[in-house]
Amino acid sequence: MASSIALATLGLTKPKESNRPEISFAAKDTDVVEWKGDILAVGVTEKDMEKDDNSKFKNPILQKLDLQLGGLLFEASSEEDFSGKAGQSLVLRLPAGLIGSKRVGLIGLAAEASLPSVPYRSLGEAVAAAAKSSQASSAAVTLASPEAISAKQKPSVAAAIATGVTLGTFEDNRFKSESKKLTLRSVDIIGLGSGAENDDKLQYAGYVSSGIILGRELVNAPANVLTPGALAEEAKKIASQYPRVFELKILDAEQCKELKMGAFLGVAAASANPPYFIDLVYSTMSRESKTSLALVGKGLTFDSGGYNLKTGPNSRIELMKNDMAGAAALLGAAKALGQMTIRGVRVHFIIAACENMISGSGMRPGDILTASNGKTIEVNNTDAEGRLTLADAFVYACNQGVEKMVDLATLTGACITALGPSVAGVFTPNDDIAKEVLGAAEVSGEKLWRMPMEESYWNSMKSGVADMINTGPSQGGAITAALFLKQFVDEKVKWAHIDVAGPVLDDKNLATGFGVSTMVEWVLRGRHVPV
C-alpha cells in the first residue's frame, strides 16, 4: 500500500459530515385504522380508486378508512381529482381521534412496470417527500390491494418501499452552509407480511441503500475535494470499517510503473494530483469454494479532455467530476457487501484513479502508450482516456486469476445517444454473463440493455504505427470503445462492460448511485447472509 496519500486543499473547501438517514423499518400486520403515528400512506392504483354504484370506494381498505374518516377521504379525492395515477399524491391532516394517524396520504402507484421493484421504490420516495413536508418522525406504508402481490414477492416489495423511503429522505447538503435536519426516524410497512424473511429483506435494503448513498456522495463531491487520493482514502475507510472481510492494496505511481501500466500513467501524467491504483478485496474464500470475481470502475475524478479539451456549450465539462461514477458504484457496492457474509467468494474492486488534465508533461495526440500486457496504443484523442486507464486495470484483474469480470464506466456519449439518459448499455461477447447481469438488474430495478459487439468495426481501430488507436469514427462509438476494452481481457475470463454514462446523473445533475444495487445483486445471486 502506498505509504502516504496526497490530498488536495484547493479552495479551502471541506465537506460537512454526511446527513445520512437513520430510519428503522419494521414489517407489521397492524390494522391501518389503529396504527398510531404521524402519517399513514396508502399506495393506490387507478383501479383501487374506482367507485361503486353509490359513488363510494369499491376497495375494502379505502372503504374502511373512509368510514372511519366520515367520508373525508372520498370527498377530498373527488375535489382534488385524485385518480391514483402514478406520480399523484394527496395528503390530509386529520382531526384528532378519527384514526390513530395524524395524517393520511394516498399515493398513485403504477399498476405495472417492466422492472417490478420500480413502482414500489417510487412509492417509498413519495412517502419520504410527504414525511419531509409534514416534518413527520414516524410513518406507515400500506397498499390498497396487497392481495394482488404473491406471498413470495411481498418481502421484496417491502424492501423496495424501504429503499425508496431511505433514498427519498437523503439530501446531500455537505457543501451547503445551511441544511435541514432529517426528522423521519421510523417506518412501519403494513400488510405485506411479517417475520424473519421480511426482516432480512428490510435489513438487506438498508445495506444496499447505504451503498447507494455513498455512491451518490462520491459523485456529487467536486473534483477539488474528491481527488484520486481522496478516492483511495474512501477505499481505506471501507477496509478499516469491515476488516473481517476486506483487505486493501493501493499502488502509487512508482509501483504502477513497476507493473508497466503505461496506459494508465499516460492519462495521469498531466495532473498535479498523483494517481492511485486501488485493489479492495472482499474475501471469504474456503478450500471448497473458488469463486473469484472482479469489478472494475472507471475512476477519472476529473476529465478536462486533455489536449483534446472539452469545449463549447455542449461539452458539459463542468459535470466531468462524474467521470468516476463507475468507481463510486463499486465502492458503494463494497460498502453494502461489507455488511454481509457471502460464503466462499473473492471479489476484487479495482479502480485506476487519476485526473485527465493539461500540462507540459501530459500526453499529446499522436503519442504512443504501452499497456501492461505489451500492446501499444496510438492516442489519436486524449479525451478517450477512460478506456486507457481501464486497459491496465483489466490486465491487472485478469492476472489475479478471476473467472468473471464486470466493469462500470461513464465511457461514451455515444451510448447516451443510442439509449438516452436513463438506460445503461451492456456489451459482452458472452451470453452467460449477459444473462447474469441483466437478471441482477431486473431485481435491482436499474435499466440495462444489451448492445452488439460488432467485430467488423474493429478494423476502424487499427493503427499504422501501433497495435491500435484509442478511438474510432463517431458512428458506433460505444461499440468500438467496448471492442477496444476487449483487447485487454484474458480469453479465459467472462467479461461484461456496462456503459453508465447516461443514468449516473438525474435531470437535476445530481448523482443517482446507479450501478450499486445491480452489482450487489450480481455478486450475491441469492447467496447473501445478513450479519
CB 469 within 8 A of CB 461: yes
Q: Which helix (H) or strand (E) holds 499?
A: strand 494-499
| Catalytic one of 85, 310, 375, 450 | 310
- What is the Cα–Cα distance from 103 to 139, expressed in whole angstroms? 9
Closest CA to 279 of 237, 256, 248: 248
Can you state the percent helix, strand and coil of the chain, rounding each to 5?
A: 35, 20, 45
- Three-state SS at 468: strand
Q: Is 346 a catalytic residue?
A: no
Rounded to the nearest 10 degrees, the angle between the axes of helix 325-338 and helix 228-241 is 10
Please say whether the beta carbons of 172 and 216 come within 8 A: yes
What is the sign, positive or negative, of the torsion defined by CA atoms of 413, 426, 516, 406?
A: negative
Neighbouring C-beta atoms of residue 105, cutoff 10 Å: 23
Beta-bridge partner residues of 404: 293, 494
Q: Which residue has the cell 452552509?
A: 177
- One-letter amino acid identity for 407? D
Cβ neighbours, 10 Å, residue 453:
16
List the catalytic residue out of 102, 103, 201, 387. Answer: 387
Which residue type does 119 have? P
DSSP annotation of 351 reads E
Separation between Cα atoms, residue 127 and residue 190, nearest integer Å = 14
Grid coordinates in use for 77?
Answer: 379525492
Active site includes 404? no
Residues with catalytic function: 310, 387
